[in-house]
Amino acid sequence: MTQMENIPGEDLNEAQVKLVDAYRLLNNVLMGHRDELAPFEERNAVKALSALWQVMNGLDMDPGQVYDLGA
C-alpha cells in the first residue's frame, strides 16, 4: 500500500487512498480527455467527480476547486 497523509498529517488507510486515486484519475480524464467523451459520459463523470470532491474535502486532502470542470 502507498502511504499517504492528509493536510493535518494523518495517515490514510488503504480504502481512503483508493478513493483519492479514483478522484485524481477521474479529474485527469476530465482535464485531458473531456473532448473524447460522449455527452452522457461527460455529464456523469462530472457528477461523479463532484461526489468524490466531497470525499476529498472530508478527508482533508485540499482538493481545490473544480468549477472550471462544471462541477
Tell me whether residue 1 is in a domain: no
Global pTM value: 0.87
Tell me whether residue 32 is in a domain: yes
Q: Work out how many domains the chain is built from and give that number.
A: 1
- Is the CB of residue 50 less than 8 Å from the CB of residue 71? yes
CA distance 63 to 19: 12
- Domain residue limits at 31: 14-69
pLDDT in tens, 18-65: 999 999 999 999 999 999 999 999 999 999 999 999 999 999 998 888
